[in-house]
Every structure is written in structure tokens, then in C-alpha cells.
Structure 1
Amino acid sequence: HQPLLLANHGPVVCGENLQEAANNTEELEETAKLIFILGERPIRYLTTEEIAQLRR
């Protein structure tokens, strides 16, 4: 379950239970803060390999 932002509406967040939905809301908020702080700087997303390494 991934949170999303609807243009002119705001966030839509769900989860398997209330705790997961709350965690997803917090993650969305923190991600939005980082994007705001970065401003116009380019964002380098993790590659699939980097994500796999982090999950080990």
C-alpha cells in the first residue's frame, strides 16, 4: 500500500490496519519534506540493485 497525492485534493493513504496507515502517512510526510528541502536539485533514485542490497 503506497500513499499518493491527488492534485487539488491532498494525500490518500491506506494500510492493512490503522497502524500501517499511520506509518504510511508519516513516510509520505517525511518524503514530502525532503523533496521540498531539495528544491530544484536533481533527485537520484536508488537502483533496483541498491534496493536489493538494503533489504538483505
Structure 2
Amino acid sequence: MTANEKARAKAEQAVGKIARAAGRATGNTKLVAKGEAAEAMGKARENKESLKETGRH
């Protein structure tokens, strides 16, 4: 996994967690959903990069 893609995946996960927590704190269900989606995108990106790295070895 390239360092840039790994950082991007972790950043997406962090943004998602923050948005989800803020949504829950304020009762904003749209923000909770957006946070969950961002977190899922970060995890998917991380998994994709891990698979690409596995294929190289």
C-alpha cells in the first residue's frame, strides 16, 4: 500500500468517525449516515490497497 493511499484511507475513516459522532450528538441522522459512508469508503480503500499489495508478493 502506498503511503499516500494509506493516509487517505485512514483520513477518510477518521472523518467518518467524527461526522458520525457529531451526528449522534446532535440527533442529525443525515450526518450519521454520511459519517458511516465515509468510514466505509476508507475501509474499502484500505482493503483494496491491501489486496493490491498482496498480489505483488
TM tier, shorter chain?
0.3 to 0.5
TM-score (norm 1): 0.47
Structure with the largest fraction of helix: 2
Structure with the largest fraction of strand: 1
TM-score (norm 2): 0.46
